Each structure stands twice: as structure tokens, then as C-alpha cells.
Amino acid sequence: MSENNFWSNVETGMNNYLTKYLSLFKESYQKPEVYKDEKVDAFLKGLEGKEGFEQVFNYVRVEIKPLFDQIRTSYLADKKPEEIEQNKINTLIEVSKLFNAIIPLPRFLNDFMVSAKESSPVDLNKLFVNMMKLEVNELTKIYDEEIKGMDPVIDNCVADLNKSEDALEIWNFINQFGLFLQRDMALTEYNQSEEDKKFDEQLKNIDKIEQDFKDGKIQLPEFNKDRLVEEVNKYHSFVTEMTAETRQEVADKAINYRNKVLPLVQIVQCLHDLLINILTATNIINADKQ
């Protein structure tokens, strides 16, 4: 593939990504539970008539941060967050989602152009790993300060996340991290008999996966049963040995941490989505293998 064709396909991927998030924003903004703000209306009005990636991107890139800052300032003026009307909170959430979705684009464009001068073709994996590491490093910094050592399973996941040099794998580790956090957040509703039942079901499920793997019914890069059983045992021991007070403390810390890092996770998610759109547009992967 020539460099011109490759860049054209990369631009197509970026355009598909941008179109997707703008469509999601417009759709969410029309929901009845979202406050209709004249500033947002003006932003959408300004989009009309913009054609092609360059025009749309340049408009959104310039306008989205001022829009986010203005409505956040106006909604929070002389009010605590819990005092804001829910429909205005919903508007702020939707604008922040679009803002987070736009953040990766100028960063990618800048890094892509720098990389293109250094080597051809551009190593997309290396490019996206470097971009994702910005959020991963900040996420880890907060983790180290607030909840490191709280849950050994999460400790292992964060260690794997920081060692990874594969962009798609980083997103998989972020997903695992999120699931482990949700598990700790749910400790407020802990029930010993339910935990024991879940523990037995997990071990049986590992046995089934092992058998399916041996029979060729499922394809996996590797299957390390000992490690899976070890992780399940480790968490089971972790929660059953806690007092009710400790479980509440762990849940509270997990909730507070998750709320702090959610914007970082959203940016990594958007980076992953942008990468998938570019890989699909350049035919490096098929759309059905995302």
C-alpha cells in the first residue's frame, strides 16, 4: 500500500470515529432527560454545513472545550454538584463524553506526523501504546497513592497493565481492572453463602474451559489453569477473611478511586476505538475481529 493510500485510509478511519461520536452525542442530547442548553444548540448549529473530516474536525476541536468549560461553570455557579438539576448533570455528562472522544484526535495526528518523518510505514501499535501510557501512568499514580495493596488481584492486573506493550492488550487489561473494581465495589452487598456458591461455579467453569480447550472447541493463545485457579482462590480468601467493616472500607475506596479515574479510562477507551477504526479502514484487521 502506498503512503498516500495509507494516509487516505487512516483519515477515513478518523472520520468514521468522529462521525460515530458526533452521532452518539446528537442522539443522546435529544433524550427527554437531557437539558436542552442554548450553548449546546449553538454548537450543533455551527456543525451544519461542515463537510469532510477536516472541516468537521477543525470545528469540533476548537469549540468543544469552551463549550464544556462554559456549561460546567454556569451549572456549578454557586451550587454544589449534588444541588444541580439531574437533567443539567446529564447534559454535562454527554458534553464531557464528546470532549473525551475528541482528545485523542489531535494527539494522534501530531504523533502520527512526527512518526511518519522518522519511519515508514508508521508503527500504529507503538503510536497508540505511547498515547495510552499517558492515561495509564496517571491512573497508576492515583492507584499507588490510594488503593495499592488493598486487593492482590487488582495489584497483579495493574502490574500486567503497566508491562504491556500492545495497545489492544492494554485495553483488555483496563477492562479486567474495571471488572475487579466493580467486584470490590459490590462488597457492600456481600453474602457468604452467595460467595461460596460463586466460588464453586468459577472453579467448575475453569474445568469446563480446560476441557473445551483440550477438545479443540475453543481457541486460546494459551490456557494456564493453575494461574486461573490461583487467582480465584486468592480472591475468595481475600473476601472471606475480611470483617464487615473492612469490606465496607474496601468498597468505599474502590468507589472513590473509580470515580476519580473514570475520565482517564474513557480516554483510553476512545483511543482503543480510534485504533480499531483506523485498523479497519486500512484493512489491517477486519471489522468483525474487533
**The pLDDT value given to residue 275:** 94
**The pLDDT value given to residue 289:** 42
**The pLDDT value given to residue 286:** 46
- 185 pLDDT exceeds 70? yes
Q: Which residue has the higher pLDDT, 143 or 231?
A: 143
- Note the pLDDT tens digit of each residue in 52-74: 999 999 999 999 999 999 999 99
The number of beta carbons lying within 10 Å of the beta carbon of residue 229 is 15
**The pLDDT value given to residue 122:** 83
CA distances from 59 to 6, 37, 98, 197 (A): 25, 19, 13, 54
How does residue 260 score in pLDDT terms, banded at 50, 70 and 90? very high
Residues recorded for the chain: 290
Average pLDDT, rounded, for the chain: 90
- 2 pLDDT exceeds 90? no
**The pLDDT value given to residue 3:** 61
- 284 pLDDT exceeds 70? no
- Note the pLDDT tens digit of each residue in 92-113: 999 999 999 999 999 999 998 8
- Note the pLDDT tens digit of each residue in 14-34: 999 999 999 999 999 999 999
Cell of 196: 461460596
Judged on CB neighbours under 10 Å (0-12, 13-18, 19+), 37 is buried
pTM of the model: 0.84
Classify the phi-psi angles of 35: left when phi > 0, otherwise alpha if psi is within -120 to 50, otherwise beta.
beta
- Note the pLDDT tens digit of each residue in 204-216: 999 998 888 888 8
- 224 pLDDT exceeds 90? no
Distance between CA atoms of 11 and 22, rounded to whole angstroms?
Answer: 16
